[in-house]
A = this chain, B = another copy of it.
Amino acid sequence: MEFNVVNKSIDGLCDKLNTLVNEVRNLKPEDSPIGNCFFNLVQILLIFYLYSFISYRWYFIAKMSDEVVDSNPYSRLMALKRMHIVKNYENIRQKSVVVVGIGGVGSVAAEMLTRCGIGKLLLFDYDKVELANMNRLFYQPNQSGLSKVEAACGTAINPDVDIEIYNMNITTVDNYKVFTEKIRNGGLNDGKVDLVLSCVDNFEARMTINTACNEENQVWMESGVSENAVSGHIQYIEPGRTACFACTPPLIVASNIDERTLKREGVCAASLPTTMAVVAGFLVQNALKYLLEFGEVSPYVGYNALCDFFPRQELLPNPHCGDRYCKQRQEEYQVTYFSLVLYTGSNQGTDVVDTNVVHDDNSWGIELVETSSTLPKKNELQLKEGLVFAYEPSEQSQVSNVFLIVIREAMK
């Protein structure tokens, strides 16, 4: 049904093109050989341009169809319904997603969501495309010099996706307001957005997204790739229910100076298109599972490329978190959770850990090692200029072991 509309549009455009060519031909005022030559040239250029513009274009499709024809860009996605993977794939059209950071991970994530037919995308970045970005997927050399959001929007191939771009740094006071306003009202029909994806490459931007999402009670997903290009991770963050980014920050952070100036002149992080694409794939896969309610949304997936190891873990919120909105969301979640337990008389479907001892004997000698004592003290480590310890964990800390392990990992 939908493809008749597309064919009619193409026919209509062809008619208009023919009319235009005839009009140009009738306009011809003189019969000199050079005049003829130019008229022919202009006609050829016009036809070539319009043909490349209309031919095989992906036209607006009012309703996703599962018809199996070569011209249907959604046939392979709608097949997920027939395969009993997704119940209502077309619901993706009602979803809106914010992507912050349109670099090696974010640009690929935005392209995946575009090709999947997401309802609305809001892209935030303030960087420009450079030739030095060409070792990762997505950007083309001829886009060098353009802002990343402009370049990403310009190459978005799906006319069914509503794309808004914000060429701005969200960490400034004014832009932070725009960012939170868009989380609140930037979705379809001026509603709340459904998900925020963080694809940024620095601590400050991550903390800004974290603060905004805690404030707006917005589910978001974090992603990151290591400086040596061979590991990465994604993390699902639901304010109050899971650890937020401030619950488990790195132990060492920049001290009141711009992080970027900490990088030495003539030195840059390594990056690989492979690691970036894997992390973007994990991120958008998790986003699709969350948005379309299929499979299990993973709380955390790590990727160690050197030995193809994929650590998984779940981080609970830190009751001593430095973010006041996080603590507020934790209280709200506990109220909701305990109401649920009181109401249903069970804790099914929640994530309280069963503390019953499964095995009384332990002949294999497996044990959980106390890790807090191995954390270095402030005076044991010499930090470079511009770096400070964010805090020193107390030995009587009530924070879970998992939390401490994360800190130790961050120090490696």
Contacts and interface: CB of A to CB of B under 8 A. Distances in A.
Contact of A277 (B42, B132, B158, B277): B277
Given A42-B41, A115-B137, A306 B295 contact: yes
A278 interface: yes
B294 A284 contact: no
Nearest to A41: B42
Contact of A80 (B85, B117, B142, B229): B229
Contacts of A108: 137, 277
Interface string A257-295: 000000000111111111101101110111011000011
Interface residues of A, number: 90
Interface in A286-308: 286, 288-289, 294-296, 298, 301, 305-308
A278 B267 contact: no
Contacts of A45: 45
A68 interface: yes
13 contacts: A45-B45, A55-B142, A56-B143, A57-B142, A58-B134, A74-B135, A76-B132, A82-B267, A134-B158, A230-B295, A277-B277, A277-B278, A296-B306
Chain B CB within 10 Å, residue with most, of A115, A228, A274, A305: A274
B131 A70 contact: yes
B132 A72 contact: yes
A192 to B, nearest CB: 24
B280 A58 contact: no
Interface of A: 29-30, 32, 34-35, 38, 41-42, 45, 52, 55-58, 67-77, 79-80, 82-83, 85, 108, 111-112, 115-117, 130-132, 134-137, 140-145, 157-158, 227-230, 266-275, 277-278, 280-282, 284-286, 288-289, 294-296, 298, 301, 305-308, 310, 312, 359, 361, 363-364
A83 B228 contact: yes
Contacts of A278: 277-278, 281-282, 285
B30 A32 contact: yes
A269 B306 contact: no
Contacts of A35: 34-35, 38
Contacts of A52: 142
A39 B286 CA distance: 56
A-B residue pairs, 4 tightest by C-beta: A295-B306, A278-B281, A56-B144, A79-B270
Given A41-B42, A277-B280, A135 B76 contact: yes
B137 A157 contact: no
B83 A227 contact: yes
Contact of A281 (B130, B145, B274, B363): B274
